[in-house]
Structure 1
Amino acid sequence: MAYTNSTDWQTPASVSASDDEQCELVLRGDTLARAGQLDAAEAILRQALMRKPHDATATAHLARILLGLGRTDDASRLVDDFLCSTVLSAPPELLLLRAQILLALRAWSEAIVAFRYAIDAAPDNGIAELGLAVALGESGQIETTATAARRAIAKGADSPGARYVLGRALLAANRPDEAEAQLRQVLTLQPDHVAAHCSLTELIWMRSGNVDAAMERLDDALRDEPNLFELRIMKARLLESSGDRLGALAALEAGLTHPAGSLALRLAATKTAVHIDPARAMLHARHALQLGPGNAAAVGAYADTLLAMGRARELATVAARLHEFNPDDSHAIALLLCAWRMLDDPRHRELGDYSRVVRTSLIDTPVGWSDLASYLGDLARSLHQLHSMREHPIDQTLRFGTQVELHPEQSGDRAIQAFPEAIAGPIRRYLEALGGGTDLLRRRHTGACRLNGIWSVRLRPNGHHLNHFHGKGWISSACYIELPETMGEQAGQGWLKFGEPAMPTTPALPAEYFIRPEPGLLALFPSWMWHGTVPFYGSPLDRRLTMAFDLLPA
């Protein structure tokens, strides 16, 4: 969330220039910034700072201009240099600006500290409290996020943005009634608040499983403003997530009659159509490439369509271009593997050597438990309490189940807190066995890694994961916590499978490797490997409970 914008150029009340000429320069810079002439405003304000380097007003204005130009690092250096060089008390406005810059840099821990300094300097500043709430939320400190958001509202920062931050925090804290009330309040205050619409739609869907109820506010908003393409894409994602791909594609194509969001709509239409009509997907993909030549997402969507149509040589060329642009792009590597497999290229056999790069082992028993079974029992009970929804989040790969994000370091539950300890040994052994090298997997191996997200999935009968890869990881995982007894009676049910792409292909590329789950088993594998699960069947009360995480090199 942005806390300053291109129209917020008010001179801080606590600082002022010392002479008329300096005031005139700062005022000219302010006027140019208000008019959107940011380059000219920057030049004037730099002139002012050459005359008077410790002018807090000019520094604040210039830092905001640099943020508006996307030069966040330059803004950070400017403010830090001022705060380090001044012998006077730091102006509260600059302390707040420094915290906002750290937030823009996604330096969550540093931003939390900086916002607290800003609040100490100006205790009644609701904007600083709101910034603190955002930083706390991004770092996973859910309860304190809600508290800070409430303080921001109480201190006068009662805005749609503040209510949205509070609503998201309440949702993350598993308080759906309060979250829904706040999100509805956001839309009362600002009917076109896209993020609140999307969050409310997903919340209603997850709580009820009722597509019509979830879409009601979206449809009202789209009737009022057909150009809100983000809401049209959200509607399509909901329909597709509920199993109605044809309806999703129709919703997206209906939006193409409006000029707004053409590239985003074409990309979304390509991703949906590729599962049901590759030729139609190719039409949308080509339009997307015309709208965004060189756009990585457009190139990736075009490559997906080549995969579905079996045009392996073209796919290999396009996927290689994507990989060259970003060597860590999981999508590019997943596409390369498919192209090489279709072409019987030996590189597929080398990189897709499942016996080498996919490994399983039991997790360790954490301190405080006598054996693994007792730990898994406690962990399962704790996780079941968190799975309070009815349906999966929109845009996730699971079907007939629920998913919750976890923050063990912030959790008050001992079993959840202990999970990183339980997986540390298997991760270390996997990395040791992987070793060093220059191939697409081992080239990133530094000898150390860090967690990049932990979540839990609970599937009911018919539940499964669609085939997918993980775009934000290097190594991914599946850890089995609790399995229904009936799952073991039918071979293959609930098993983890590798090698089958997300969309039907010509020729077909069936799964090449399977893992049979068992309680306590942890599977580790490259994030760019296509993987999914076979549906399982059983009694209505059966549940398949897992945890998962991604790793990145440290």
Structure 2
Amino acid sequence: MKQKIEQAAQLFQAGQPREALEMLQPVTSGAPGMMRGQTLSARCWLALGHRDKALDHLATVAGYVDKAPRPALARANLAQFYAMADEWDTATSILEVAVSQEPDNIELKVKHADMLANAGQWREALMIFEAAVKKFPENASLLRSTAISAQMSKQNTRAVELYTRTMAAGLADKQIYSNLIAALIELGRVDEAHRHAVDWCAAMPADIEAMAFMALLEVEVGNNDVAARWFDFARFVKGHTIAVPEGYDDLDAFNKAIEAVVLGHDRLETPPEDHPTWHHPALRIGPDINNDHSGPVGELEKQMRMAVDKYFAESPNDDNHPFLTTEPRDYEIVAWSAVLDGEGNQKPHIHMSGYLSGCYYVTIPDEVSGSGDDNAGAFEMGRPPEELPFKAEFPVETVKPHEGLMLLFPAFMYHGTVPFKSKQKRICVAFDVIPKQAA
């Protein structure tokens, strides 16, 4: 039986969950108390999208946990599988029983707190984490988890203290810098936030989020000359109307071909409101639009690459600007479509996985591309999101898009769109230049 379970585990790890289930079937039916066989079967069913069948196996395990050598540990493991199935309430309840069985087991308590945090019960998690930190005051991982729970519980002063202790204990990664700076900004302690942004950029010079915070904080603390280098729109924002790709009579014909691909995308949809890409109920996103490198999108990707290579070639770095210093030697392009159905906007945001961001405008309503002073539907750069409570006035650049425009800008620049209303769709293909190897 154990050998079959090991072979099934290898099949699962190799991406063959259905074959693993065939191997496990005689185990789960003949020896239902072998908990590993049941939990591995649950994982296979989850991988195949059959949550109900996965829960049946976990229910079987629940009937055997009290017979395990350490019931509390068995329950803790079972809770993790229920969490994989998004059964957070059940997972949390199981862990509570496990903790009651071994009340002095700090590891179980921390697992319980982690489960509560993953379920969004931040205040309850914080109480458990705080008790654990008293016993292990120099455990960097525990300090970080406690800091995150404090921050999510709106206790920013405590969060800053805990993040600082985490860094003193030797753990200073991207998440810690980002969370610490955000908490300090929320508290109005922008000079401290600025100092940490300087440290972050020094430690991770190619990190786009670090650059974004650095640029914003230079404005907020009043370093106007330095801030001007970051918000040099004339230097860093470049746009041109593309040439007509081969095989098309004119740009209008090419754009109509792109529009047909965009609107025919089988995953073009409005993201859930709790997803980072959600901005407005009228906005639909079509991910990975350039996975198929043929047809009109393949031609568009060629235009993107020509524009990116031209951007790099025409961007001298005589003053050692931090952004240009980290220019990638090689890159890939990840593109997606954005469709605004007659109204809406995108809130200020950045793309932290890219180095350079871009946008190609496919279909633009007359109200947006018109020659009037109204900026409705325009592309806007520089303004930070409302979630960052800055007090300074930020430099802002606005671009009125038109069909055929290819626009490039640094990924660290916050950008969004101005709300508009029209009877027409506003369609663009956005993309990120993802470094393969930093310079």
TM-score (norm 2): 0.69
Q: Deviations over 1:212-258 (max 9, x none)?
A: xxxxx54555455576666655665xxxxxxxxxxxxxx43343233
1:454 pairs, out of 315, 335, 339, with 335
SS at match of 1:455: strand
Matched, 1:332 2:210: yes
Specify the alignment match of 1:377 in structure 2. 256
Match of 2:377 in 1: 494
Q: 1:501 to 1:150 in 2, by over 3 A?
A: same
C-alpha distance in structure 1 between counterparts of 2:263 and 2:239, whole Å = 24
3-state DSSP of counterpart to 1:398: coil
Matched, 1:362 2:241: yes
Q: 1:185 to 1:364 in 2, by over 3 A?
A: farther
Structure 2 equivalent of residue 295 of structure 1: 172
Give the direction of change, closer, same or farther, for the CA distance of 1:230–1:462 in structure 2 (3 Å limit): farther
Residue 348, structure 1, aligned to residue 227, structure 2: yes
Gaps spanning 5+ residues in structure 1: where? 1-7, 13-92, 94-124, 134-147, 168-181, 199-216, 237-250, 274-279
Q: Secondary structure at the match of 2:384?
A: coil
- Secondary structure in 2 matching 1:389: coil
Report whether the alignment pairs 1:513 with 2:397: yes
1:533 aligns with 2:420: no
Alignment partner of 1:253 is 2:123: yes
Deviation at residue 407 of structure 1 after TM alignment: 6.1
Q: 2:313 — aligned with what?
A: 432
Contact 2:348–2:384, Cα closer than 8 Å, also in 1: yes
Answer whether contact 1:365 1:372 (CA < 8 A) is retained: yes
SS in 1 for 2:374: coil
RCO comparison, higher one (Cα < 8 Å, 6+): 2
CA contact (8 A) 2:369 2:402 kept: no
1:442 aligned partner: 324
How far residue 354 of structure 1 moved from its aligned partner, in angstroms, is: 0.9
- Give the CA deviation at 1:356: 0.4
Please, which moves more after superposition, 325-334 or 260-269? Answer: 260-269
State the superposition RMSD in angstroms.
3.8
Distance 1:350 1:407 in 2: 34
- C-alpha deviation, 1:319, in angstroms: 0.8
Give the 3 Å change call, closer, same or farther, for CA 366–352 of structure 1 in structure 2.
Answer: same
Distance 2:116 2:243 in 1: 46
Counterparts of 1:221 and 1:424, CA distance in 2 = 48
Structure 2 CA distance for partners of 1:431 and 1:165, relative to 1, 3 Å: farther
Would you say the 8 A contact 2:337–2:430 is kept in 1? yes
The share of aligned pairs that are identical, in percent, is 17
Q: Is the 8 A contact 1:192 1:221 kept in 2?
A: yes
1:471 equivalent to 2:352? Answer yes
Instruction: List per-residue Cα deviations over 1:139-196 (Å, max 9, x = no partner).
Output: xxxxxxxxx66566566697444444444xxxxxxxxxxxxxx355445545744775
**Quick one: structure 1 residues 166 and 550, their matched pair in 2 at CA, closer, same or farther if it must change by over 3 Å?**
farther
1:415-472 superposed Cα distances (whole Å, 9 cap, x missing partner): 33443223121111111111344321121235x4312533233334663333232222
CA change 1:310–1:425 in 2 (3 A) is: same
In structure 2, what is the equivalent of residue 284 of structure 1? 159
- Distance (Å, rounded) in 2 between the aligned partners of 1:272 and 1:550: 36
- Counterparts of 2:186 and 2:284 in 1: how far apart (Å)? 29
**TM-score of the superposed pair, with normalisation by structure 1:** 0.56
Within a 5 Å distance, the mapping from 1:410-429 to structure 2 comes to 411=292, 414-429=295-310
Q: Tell me the residue number matched to 1:483.
A: 364
Give the counterpart letter for 1:433 in structure 2: E
- Quick one: which amino acid aligns to residue 234 of structure 2? S
Task: Check 1:282–1:344 CA distance in 2 against 1; reply closer, same or farther (3 A cut).
Answer: same
Paired residues, what number? 365
Instruction: Tell me: CA distance 1:220–1:153, structure 2 relative to 1, closer, same or farther (3 Å).
Output: closer
Q: Deviations over 1:265-300 (max 9, x none)?
A: 642663785xxxxxx433333334335644332232
Displacement of 1:344: 2.6
Structure 1 residues 366 and 269, CA gap change in structure 2 (3 angstroms): farther
Q: Contact 1:476–1:527 (CA<8 Å) still a contact in 2?
A: yes
- Which stretch of the first structure deviates more once superposed, 317-326 or 434-443? 434-443
Cα distance change of structure 1 residues 155 and 462 upon mapping to structure 2, 3 Å threshold: farther
CA contact (8 A) 1:495 1:517 kept: yes
Which structure 2 residues correspond to residues 389-400 of structure 1 after superposition, within 5 A?
A: 389-392=269-272, 394-400=274-280
Distance 1:156 1:317 in 2: 56
Give 1:306 shift: 2.7
Please identify which structure carries the higher helix content. Answer: 1
SS of residue paired to 2:348: coil
CA distance in 1, matches of 2:55, 2:270: 24
